[in-house]
Amino acid sequence: MNIVLFQVERLPQQKNNFINFTLKSVQLLRDKKVIAELGDVRVDKLPFYYFCAVPTGFSKIEFTVKNKPPLRLVFRAGYLKSGDYIIATPAGEITLGFNALTGIWSDKQQTFAMSHQQLTEREYVLLRPARVYPRHAPPT
């Protein structure tokens, strides 16, 4: 399984992070075939992240939206990249590292490792990246 991210964010010069709109009939596509049907997605704060597990594949992820979204927003869809992510657990929020090559989640000390299936079985929920980089500045 691959983990796919659908992201909505504002342009860098925009200051307002609160917004209220609904994207109608959002679909994620790979090779022009629907791989995930998100339905109507309500966005009330930016940046907005939607994660889902899809069958393994390596072609580019694209998306379609039925209605016209507000201006000055940037939409992205793609595979989850390696890095640290905030995870909601029944005991509270934690930070776990994700390795995109192996598909394994682990903590900083590498004391445990689990697949995305094990992550969802434990009722953990992927919330957002631990650190958000500006679009024009790559991570260092």
Q: Cα separation of 36 and 100, whole Å? A: 19
Could you tell me if 76 and 7 are in contact, meaning their C-beta atoms sit under 8 angstroms apart?
Answer: yes
pLDDT at position 137, please?
A: 47
Q: Cα separation of 77 and 95, whole Å? A: 22
Give tens-digit pLDDT for 73-108. Answer: 889 999 999 999 999 999 999 999 999 888 899 988
Q: Cα separation of 81 and 14, whole Å? A: 25
pLDDT at position 29, please?
A: 94
Look at the chain and report how many structural domains it folds into: 2
Higher-pLDDT residue of 27 and 110 is 27
pLDDT at position 138, please?
A: 47
Give tens-digit pLDDT for 121-135. Answer: 999 999 999 876 555
Residues 15 and 74 in one domain: yes
Could you tell me if 70 and 16 are in contact, meaning their C-beta atoms sit under 8 angstroms apart?
Answer: no
Retrieve residue 117's tokens: 């299936």
Please identify, among 39, 65, 80, the residue that sits at the C-terminal boundary of a domain: 80
Higher-pLDDT residue of 8 and 18 is 8
pTM of the model: 0.80
Q: Cα separation of 77 and 7, whole Å? A: 6
- The count of other CB atoms within 10 Å of the CB of residue 116 is 19
Give tens-digit pLDDT for 9-47. Answer: 887 777 777 788 899 999 999 999 999 999 999 998 888
Residues 43 and 3 in one domain: yes
Retrieve residue 82's tokens: 């390696």
Domain that holds residue 18: 1-80
